[in-house]
Amino acid sequence: MLHTKKILFMGLGLWLWYFFCFLPSFSAGPPPNRSGQVEIKDNHIYWTYEGNVFFEADIKAEKIPFDIKTSVYSQKGKVTQLLVLTTREWNDSLEVTGRINGSPESFPCEVDRPDRGLLVVRHAYGLSRNLRNRAVYDRARDWAFSVDFNPHVKIFPESSDDEGHEFTVDIKGREVVFCFRPLFYQKHRELSYFEPWNYAVWEKPIVGWCSWFAYFTDINEANVLKTADVLASELAPFGYEYLQIDDGYQRDTGLPELWLNPNEKFPDGLAFLASAIKKKGLKPGIWTNVAFKQKDFVEKHGDFFVKDERGHPGLGNWVGYSIDGANPEAVDRLVRPIYWNLKKMGWEYFKVDALRHLRYEGYNSYSQHFRKTGKDRVEAYRSLVRAIREEIGREFFLLGCWGIRPELIGMIDGCRLGSDGFSYAGLSQYNSFNNIVWRNDPDHIELSPQEAYRSTMVTSLTGSLFLLTDKPEIYLTDLAEPAKRAAPVLFTRPGQLYDVDPSRFSQLDRVGTEVSGSGPRVFDAGQKPSVFLFLLEVNKPFENWVMLGRTAESENFIPFGDLGLNPEMEYLVYEYWTKKLIGSFIRGFYPGTIDPRFNSQLFCVRERKNHPQVLATNRHISCGGYDLEDIDWGQPVLSGRSRLVGGDPYFITVFIPSPYVQAAVACDGAEVVEVKNSGPLMVLHLSSEDSRVVDWFITF
C-alpha cells in the first residue's frame, strides 16, 4: 500500500512538474480591467500592475518642487490612468529617466495619432528604435503605457530574455503626462473577443500560391501538379512554401462527402494531391466554404439550420441554408467531418470562405431564430468556426474569408480584409491589426507588369499574408524577379496601435446589423488607397536601418523626422529597384519620380558612417534584413556573413567614403564572380551552386 501511494505521489509530482514547465505563456488568464498602483517616493516612480513593476523611473527638476497629479477615468469599460508631472515655473524643465518592463510580446510603438506629419504605415522587424515611439504595448496582457505629446521622449530596447523585454525611457519637458490603459485592444479599441492570453499570433511566414485568379473554377489535378513542379524549382528556394487550391475541386458545397470526394477533374482524390504537393517540398492548402445547398437534406433535418419567421429553413444569398452553430448535432454532422478528414488527408492550410454570408444573410437576417431559441447568434457563429479550429488544431493555418471578421478574433490565424483583388488600402486601414490580432491578408498578388513590384513590396514590408495567384508560366519569366526578392515575409509588429486610415475601422460596429454581404461593406478594406508610404524598420544585432516603400508621387519631400529618424544626422539613401544611390542627406530627401518599370520606389535609408559600410544586398527587399546574419568593421576589414540561394547571383553594395580604397576581396563558401567600382560604391558579386551561409571579407 505504501509502495502504491509512493508511486501515485511521484506520478502527481511528475505531472505538476510538466504542467508548470510547459504551461504556455498566454495561459495566465485575463488581466484585470483596472488601473495600476502608482507610488512616488523621493522623486522615484514605481508603477505596478498585476503585482509587477512595469515602470520605474527617477525624476529630476532644475527647480523643486514640482506638481504631481494622478487620476483614473472609466467610461464604457475603458479605464485610463494618468500621472501628470508639471513644473511650477514656465521656464523650468523635468527630466524623467527609467525603464519599462514587459513580456516577450511587448514592443515600442505609437498609441495616439500625431496631429501633423506625413501619413506613413510603420512596421518593425525586431524591437523598434524609432524616434516616433512614445509608448510600449504588451500584447500578452493587452496594456498600453504611453507619454502624451509635447515632452521629448526616447524609448529604446535595453535587454531581452525569455522572461521579457526591458526598455529605457528618457523624457524631457515642462509637463509630462503618463497614460496607462489596460485591455487596450479589447476595451479601448472595442474588440471584445481579443484575448491574447488565450492564443498566439502565427509568426512563421505564410508565403505561397493560390489557384483562384490563375484558374478560377477551371482548376484541375493536372494544372495543380504542374504548378507544384514550377513552384518547387523556381520559388521554393526563395521561401515559397504553400500551394493552396481554391474553388473548383468540390462536387458541391454542403454535405461533407461533396467536399471530401472531389469531382472528375481530380481523379486521384484529395489525399493523393496533398501527398504529391508535399513530395515537392511544399505545404498543401485547401479552400472550403460554409454554404449549404442540398435542399432535400435540409427538409429532412430542419433543426440543423437557421429558420425564418414561419419556421422554415431560411435561405440566404451566397450561403444557401445556414447551418445553426448553436446546434452541436448539426456541427458534428456537417462541419467537423470535413476538416477532420482533410487534416487526415494531409492538408495543412485551410481557407474558409462565405463566413460573411453566414453572418449577414444567415444569422443577422434571421436574428429572430436565435431570439426564439434563446441562443446568442454571435456565439452560435463562433461555435461553428470553433469546431473547424478544433478539428484542424493550432498547428495549421486557418484563414477567414472574406471581409473583416471581428467576431472570429482568436479563432482564425489570418483574415482576408476585403473583397476579391489585391488591396493596398487595407494595409493602412487595418495596419494596427496585423500581427497583433491576426495576420492581415490583402488578397492574392498577380504579377502583372503594373503590379508585380508594387504589390509584392508592400505586402512584404507590412509583414502580411503573401500568396501569388498566376499561372505557373509567369514564374519562368522576369516578372518573377520581384516575387523572389519579397520572400520570405519577415515577422513584424506594427509601429502604430491606431489605423493610419481610420475610415473603415470607424464603421466596424455595423457588423452586427448587416444583412447583405453582396459586395464590400463600409468597414471592409477598400480598393482605393489614401496612404502611399510604407516603412519597415529593420533591427538586427549589428545594425538598424529603415526601408521606405513609395507607391505614388503624392509627397515630394520626405523629412527624416516623419520616418522616426534623427533629422540632425546624415543618412545614405539608396533606391533598391533601380540600384541607385540617391545621395547623402540631413533633415530629409527628395524621392524624385517613380520609374514606370517598377511603378513604385523602395528606399534603403542608413545612417552614414565614417568608414566603409554595407549599403544594400539584392537577396531580399529588406536590403539584408533577411539574408545578412552579421556585419563587422575592424580596421581595415569589412566582413560579414550572408545567406545565399543556390544559383541566385548575390550582390553586396558597399559605400566607400574617402580616403578608403578597396584593396582585396575574399569569400569562404562562395565564388567571387566580380567586383565593380563606380564612384563611392563597390558592388561585390558572389555565387554558389547550393544554398548556404557564407563569410565574406573586404580589405581596404
Q: pLDDT, tens digit, for every residue of 564-580?
A: 999 999 999 999 999 99
pLDDT at 61: 86
CATH of 609-700, one of 1.10.10.10, 3.40.50.300, 2.60.40.1180, 2.40.30.170: 2.60.40.1180
pLDDT at 19: 36
Cell numbers linked to 42: 523621493
pLDDT at 8: 39
Q: Where are the domains of the chain?
A: 37-111+133-189, 207-512, 609-700
- Kindly tell me if the per-residue pLDDT of 24 is higher than 80: no
Q: Summarize pLDDT for 351-361 with one digit per residue, the tens.
A: 999 999 999 99
Q: 28 falls in which pLDDT band (50, 70, 90)?
A: confident
pLDDT at 65: 83
Question: What CATH number has the domain spanning 207-512?
Answer: 3.20.20.70
Are the C-beta atoms of 584 and 577 separated by less than 8 Å? Answer: no
The runs of H, that is alpha helices, within 23-67 are none
Q: What average pLDDT does range 618-631 have in this prediction?
A: 98
List, in sequence order, every beta strand (DSSP E) within 510-597.
533-539, 544-550, 558-559, 570-575, 580-586, 588-589
Q: 22 falls in which pLDDT band (50, 70, 90)?
A: very low
Cell numbers linked to 486: 519579397
Q: What are the Cα distances from residue 187, in Å, to 147, 504, 610?
A: 19, 18, 49
- Kindly tell me if the per-residue pLDDT of 645 is higher than 50: yes
H helices then E strands: how many in the chain? 14, 39
443: region left, alpha or beta (phi > 0 left; psi from -120 to 50 alpha): left
Q: Summarize pLDDT for 173-192 with one digit per residue, the tens.
A: 999 999 999 999 999 999 99
Cell numbers linked to 309: 419567421
Complete edge-to-edge strand list for the sheet that includes strand 106-109: 66-75, 78-87, 175-181, 143-147, 135-138, 106-109
- Kindly tell me if the per-residue pLDDT of 250 is higher than 70: yes
Q: Summarize pLDDT for 73-83 with one digit per residue, the tens.
A: 999 999 999 99
- Kindly tell me if the per-residue pLDDT of 9 is higher than 60: no
Stated as kind and residue range, the H or E segment containing 260 is helix 256-260
